[in-house]
Amino acid sequence: MSRVLITGAAGQLGSDLDRAASSRGFEVHGFSRADLDVSEREAVLQAVAEVEPEVVFNCAAFHQLDACETDIAAARMVNVNGVENLRLACDKVASGCRLVHVSTNYVFDGSRDFCDGGYREEDPPDPIQAYGLSKLEGEAKAGPDALVVRTAGLYGRAGSASKGGNFVDRMLARDSTITMVADQIVNPTSTADLAVAIIEAWQAELTGILHLVNSGSCSWLEFTEEILRLADHQLEVEAAATDPAARPRRPLNGALATSREGQEMRPWHEALADYIAGR
C-alpha cells in the first residue's frame, strides 16, 4: 500500500487530496499547519523520516496577497524555505520519496494577449507581486526530481480559511449587487478534480513543471455569473475594470494551459456544476 504524506492538509486542496488518496486505499498521513509547520526544518525532517512516505504532496502555502507584500520574510519562510525543507527530507528517505509541490499561475505577469490563450509550461515566468516571486523561488527549491504543479482559481469543500472561505461560497453568501472585474481571466478549478489529477500525474511518474487546471477560462465576472446562475441565486452583477494603480498587482491573463500530453482536465463549468449540486 502506498504511504503518502500531505502538508497543509486542512486546506481546500490538502483535504481533497487526503480524501482522494484515502479512497484509493493509500495510507494517508495528513498534517495540518498545527501538526507540522513546513518552515521548521527539524520538524519536517522528523515527520518525513517517521512516516517514510513514497510521496509528499506539499499543499502548504502562505498566499494572502496583501500579507505577502507586507511580510515577505514570512511568505518566504513557507513558500521557499518550506519547499527546501521538504525536498531535503524527501532526499533522506532511503526507499525513495517523490516531492509533488503545488505552485501558482501568479508566477506569470499576465500581460499575454487573451487571444493567445493561457500560459504554458515553457513560457517564461515573471511575477509582479511578492506572492508570485516567493512561489517562483519555491519552485526552484523543489529540485530536479520533483513534480511542480501550477494551478489557478481554486475552490473546494474545505474553503480557504485564510481567505474566509472559497470564492464560490463567498459569492453565494452575498445578498446585494456584486461588482466584479471583467478584464482578469482565470481557469476556475475544483480542488476535488485537481486532487485526482495530481495523484494520476504522480502515479504516471511525471516530473518537472505541469499546469493542471479545469480546462477553458473566463473572466471573474463570467465565473461569478455562472455561480449565481447554477445556484439560481438572483443577484445583479456589475462589471468593473482593473484599477491599474491597485497594489498588489494581479495578472490580467491569469489563465494556464498545458503542453503536456494527456493532462487536460474537464471543462471548468462542468466541475462547477458538480460542486454547486453537491453543496
Nearer to ligand NAP, 35 or 96 (CB): 35
Q: Which of 2, 24, 27, 37 binds ligand NAP (CB under 6 A)?
A: 37
The residue with cell 475544483 is: 190
Active site annotation includes 131: yes
User: Residue 33, interface with ligand NAP (CB under 6 A)?
Assistant: yes
Query: How far is it, in rounded angstroms, from Cα 194 to Cα 72?
Result: 28
The answer to whether the beta carbons of residues 5 and 55 sit under 8 Å apart is yes
Chain center to CA of 17: 12
The amino acid occupying position 229 is R
Residues in contact with ligand NAP, shown as a per-residue x/- string from 158 to 177 under the rule CB under 6 A: --xxx---------------
User: Residue 61, interface with ligand NAP (CB under 6 A)?
Assistant: yes
User: Residue 62, interface with ligand NAP (CB under 6 A)?
Assistant: yes
What is the grid cell recorded at 234?
Answer: 438572483
User: Smallest gap, in angstroms, from Cβ of residue 266 to ligand NAP?
Assistant: 18
Name 278's Cβ contacts closer than 8 Å, sequence gap at least 6.
none
Question: Binding segment for ligand NAP among 3-11, 86-94, 117-125, 203-211 (CB under 6 A)?
Answer: 3-11
Nearer to ligand NAP, 11 or 127 (CB): 11
User: Smallest gap, in angstroms, from Cβ of residue 149 to ligand NAP?
Assistant: 8
User: Residue 183, interface with ligand NAP (CB under 6 A)?
Assistant: no
Query: How far is it, in rounded angstroms, from Cα 17 to Cα 23?
Result: 10
Backbone phi, psi, residue 90, to 5°: -65, -40
Query: How far is it, in rounded angstroms, from Cα 131 to Cα 66?
Result: 9
Active site residues per annotation: 131
Site of interaction with ligand NAP (CB under 6 A)? 7-8, 10-14, 33, 37-39, 59-63, 78, 82, 102, 104-105, 151-154, 160-162
